[in-house]
Structure 1
Amino acid sequence: MPLTLRELLSFEVLREARPEVLAGEGSLDRVVRWVHSSEIYEIGPLLAGGELLLTTGLGLAGTDPGARRHYLREIAGRGVAGIALELGRTFPETPRELVEEARRLDLPFIVLHAVVPFIRITEDANTLIVDYASRRLRLGDSATRALNEALIAGAGVAGVLATGAEVIGASLILISGSGALVAAHGVAGDREAWRAVDHAAAEAPVTLHGQRWGRLVAGPGSALPADDLAIALERTAVALALAMLRTGSPPSERDRQASALLRDLIEGTAEADPSVRAVMSGFHPAADHVLVGVAADSPEAAAELAVIDRAAHVLRTPALRGRVSRLVLGALSVPRAVTDAVGAASQALDEAMRRLSAPQLRVAVGHPADDLGELGSSLRDARTALSLRPAERLVSTRTLALDLELTRHGDGGHAADLVRRTIAPLVEWDAAHRTKLVGTLEAFLLHGCSATRAAAALHLGRQSFYQRLQRIEALLGYAVTDPDVHAALLLATAAHRVAGR
């Protein structure tokens, strides 16, 4: 932290001088930029502000009370942190007019009752001040280096936010000038982001093209001192502006409207008829269309937005999409005449992902919704599906229906009992031998008990797969192809995987 006058007075070297504060007691928290000693009466013009001025009063010898008052007014006008007068050499007692004038000016006025060489005081204090300034420079350089590396690596807004949050050690929230939540890192969702804003530790403006575009807010929890936090936050705001300039214009009002609508839909806080807000977002689905929720995740938001736009282009229908926290959510419009709306949306997204060539992009497709009022459920399921299959690029809530139900309604204790009663021998064998019998069984059941298809899905040779299947049935004591046990085994294997995840 910057050195204050109050802290300086606690130094051992100053305590030896037996300091006594006679005026300006309420201003002792002023920051001391430098400690300087001088006996020159006309020292005022040579001061830059923030100094603690040490003097024996030699320059005031022979002056009248009015001149001494003028001396204090002049140095106070230069913004000094305070003045310390050593008694004994020039003044055996404190001149009354100096104390009165210092009180009028609210200027910290300290008398030193014991003689301590000024060189000792200045050396100790200024060494600490220089060390602090050097540390701030090192912090600024370290933050700038980390942010520059993120920009060079191609990180967009999300990547820069993540880097800045790591430097600062707290959540970061980017808010537009209109007050819309644009992006966040280090929070679980939008509500948590707004709570962090309400308890913000600091914020910095984000400027684009010479005009203030928005603000960057640091949530609570950073271990950095206030001044260090301000430096790191300012450097991050600059890097964010560069990222936005490189990846395109910041979100338009229409984009912000779309993000706000999608956020309300997924949180279930949208009004009864959100169609007016959809029109403001540029989304005009036809009356004979259904809506399919989409959730996309990528280190680069531009890729997430682009894949939904491209899929809508493939379908030749409108799309709604916007950033909500760390994900991009959206809705694809599919004609009701299409029998399989989920399949059509999935095919369009798959084609879009191939054309975009974004290897780290992951997309999940929700279930069909008749209108915007039902879209929230589809969006929630799509968002959950992304976390259920983190290794897959394109997933559908239709194929993850069992996982979603276990996640949504599953009781942990009940699921554990089901696993223990049904497939405990397989779980124990896997734990003891580092095998994957439970996963093998689930793949076999999911592929209609076809050894050929299951082996291909697991990238196993048929002989290896049959050996595993024999081991599974030997441990369980019955044939897993029996229709009577199919449902129980599938539920138990899925519960085990979901619990493990």
Structure 2
Amino acid sequence: MRLRALLETDALGLRLLGGDDELDRTVRGVMTTDLRDPSRYLSGGELVLTGLAWRRSADDSEPFVRILASAGVVGLAAGEAELGDVPDDLVLACERHRLPLFAVNEDVAFATITEHVVRQVSGERAGDLAAVVDRHRRLMTSGPAGGGPEVVLDLLGSDLDLRAWVLSPTGRRIAGAGEPLTPGAGAELAAEHLAATRTGRRGPHRATVGGTTYSLFPIRNTGRGAVPASRDVRETVLSDWLLAVEADASDWPAARLDLLQGVTQLIAVERDRRDAARTVRRRLAQEVLELVQTGAPPAEIAARLRVAAPVLLPGLGTAPHWQVVVARVDWEEEGGSPVEAGPAAQSLLEEILVDPAAPGAETADRIAVAHTGEEAVALVPLPAVPASAAEPDEEQAGEGHADEPDHAREDTGLHAEALLAAVREPLSSGLADDGRLTLGVSAAVHSAEGLRGALEEARHARRVAAARPGRVCAAGHHELASHVLLLPFVPDDVRRAFTARLLDPLREYDRRHRAELIPTLEAFLDCDGSWTRCAARLHLHVNTLRYRVGRIEQLTGRDLSRLEDKLDFFLALRMS
């Protein structure tokens, strides 16, 4: 039934105090409570009845309503018997959280409302719909033979003619019936879903991608590791799955909406099962991280790595190389409790490290992510390079290449920007205007001795990424040259003064005379001060090049034959 139907029944004595644009919400149950935090007894879709005994002051209304809204309650009905009129602070709190609020006349018993809602809801769930839901439930709980989400989505297609997909928060397909989504559609749908979730709008959310309309239903983690419903939405927005249905659910009857909500709850059980399977890998990563950070002997770390390798790369014959990836999610502080970002960063990094083109969870079985404080740290094994690729020929060995195994692996390892290329759009939507994701990637190391250095390298790279503008930024080990590492941390006013002092005279001269002194300076430095190579690159006579360089030295008072002055110009150009 819809909330609107409650107002059409005079015997219930309900009067609407706010939320008239949300009256098409579907009521799937009713609960009476005067607990200050009833979240443990809520599953979503309830009409909550309260006598307001929990309210001791005006400050109590905001946290109570926030808990109800986070738990998916569709409406609140407050009795007038205890306080007379419903308090204004409760009305305002409901408006902020877009929760419809009703006043219950003191002459109407809560039992009357409860009986009416239960009778209506039970009647609408009768018949074939109940059979379909039960069929889904049996399939999802029948163990490996049940087939998981794929079978449930097949049933949606066969029973209700609905095409649907389960997507990760980055838009990666986890399950789906029939044909896959068009390329890029998953990321767009995830971005739409995350943006709608951040605004506080209740699902399903309507989205149009490539001329096709979809309805997006959240699939929230409901297991023992779930975040309580009363916590900040930012703690779960980047980790919840979603169900994308190729249909417009805005005009669906309550029975069909109820079925889809039931399906999301069943898929959430599968999500909990997969999360539980990650426990071993997370524990391995946590143990290795603690050993590395406490300065444990390399032999002890190596022994733990030998335990981790078969778990992360089953059947591996030789010890792999390892890379370290560090990620951090930062939220701007708002009123109330700070947001705990460490677990969110851990879950998000596990998702980022999965190949976006690989459906399902198989590739995630090789990912071990720990978290310490606000930071998530991934230990990523790299399969051994085939002998033909790893062993140089005699001529190469004679040139000194045989002792450089790590450099030969860079092309097969992880690259910072490549990790974020496919997920930047949806993650930016989930971070909105108050969140940032920064990520750093180390070079590959082949032993326990190198792991501590790899961790510090990844952390330095993440700090370089954090100094850049943008909501989602990454940096890799190859960007840790001295000037790249140091320049982002120079104060803006110092950078502006330094570059203006060196380059403004040249820019002004170029503007007046079209002399191209700035391009000449860049080419001269890029050619390491070689007159011949620079003149050839610029298609100039060497004498013309010497004239331009002389003009640069005259205007700036610098000498381009001196290393110090070359370095200053190099840094000024990089900072401009």
**When the two structures are superposed, what TM-score results if normalisation uses the length of structure 1?**
0.41
Larger radius of gyration: 1
**When the two structures are superposed, what TM-score results if normalisation uses the length of structure 2?**
0.37
